[in-house]
């Protein structure tokens, strides 16, 4: 049996990336860790985020993972550079999918929905310099908490999205970037609020990059059954059933 791939996030949002990776890499073993006890990362200072990430990564390394996927835009911005410098195994990160959304620009705006921490880090500033024409950063305050509580497509989710997006919807909108893996689980509620507006995330691209890296380094499993283990730093009775539900969503 091959070594597993470690995937982690501040909470349950990274299950959206895990889902893509499992579909693309059906022969791989996956270990997913949600740091639910410390979610959300998006309101924390960078050094606090890095401390949370180090603790989760140490746990995954103790389980002999062959690669790490940071299924969190905020954690990638805060910690990916340091992890790559310190570790010999592949580290795959994420960034808000502004590049593919930019291709959809046709005279309107592109709303980049992300956590406050993601939007205020250097990585996002550089992304905006390259692909930021027409882009409007929008802090998704309260949205991670909605998903962590299992409110995906109800009045609570609709109210939170309305509060965040209403100030920006008076202008034509060409696309909305879901710059946090949690937000992917709010797609249905978002589609009702902004019908017809493309919702763009980076999950499939992250899974494809993982496959490319594993293949290039001779680490790709091409036979045998795949598997998935779900772990949380929070209350297992609360979060593991939610992760299972999201994995099937």
Which residues are part of the catalytic machinery? 72, 180
Q: Can you tell me the distance from the alpha carbon of 234 to that of 224, in angstroms, rounded to the nearest whole number?
A: 32
Q: Which residue has the tokens 């709010």?
A: 186
d(CA 18, CA 241): 15
Q: How far apart are the first and last CA of the chain?
A: 28
Structure tokens at 198: 């493309």
Helix, strand, coil percent content, the chain, rounded in steps of 5: 50, 15, 35
């Amino acid at each position: 049996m091959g070594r597993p791939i470690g995937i982690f996030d501040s909470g349950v949002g990274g299950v959206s990336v895990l889902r893509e990776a499992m579909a693309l890499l059906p022969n791989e073993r996956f270990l997913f860790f949600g740091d639910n006890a410390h979610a959300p990362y998006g309101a924390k200072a960078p050094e606090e985020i890095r401390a949370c990430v180090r603790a989760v990564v140490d746990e995954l390394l103790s389980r002999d993972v062959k690669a790490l996927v940071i299924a969190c835009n905020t954690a990638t911005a805060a910690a990916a550079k340091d992890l790559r410098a310190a570790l010999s195994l592949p580290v795959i990160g994420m960034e808000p999918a502004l590049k593919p959304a930019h291709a959809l620009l046709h005279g309107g705006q592109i709303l980049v929905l992300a956590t406050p921490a993601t939007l205020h880090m250097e990585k996002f500033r550089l992304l905006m310099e390259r692909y930021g024409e027409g882009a409007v950063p929008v802090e998704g305050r309260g949205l991670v908490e909605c998903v962590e509580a299992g409110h995906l497509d109800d009045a609570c989710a609709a109210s939170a999205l309305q509060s965040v997006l209403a100030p920006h919807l008076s202008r034509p909108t060409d696309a909305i970037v879901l710059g946090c893996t949690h937000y992917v689980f709010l797609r249905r509620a978002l589609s009702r609020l902004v019908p017809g507006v493309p919702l763009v995330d980076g999950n499939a691209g992250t899974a494809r990059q993982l496959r490319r890296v594993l293949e290039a380094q001779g680490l790709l499993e091409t036979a045998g059954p795949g598997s998935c283990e779900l772990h949380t730093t929070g209350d297992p009775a609360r979060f593991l059933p939610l992760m299972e539900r999201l994995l099937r969503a």
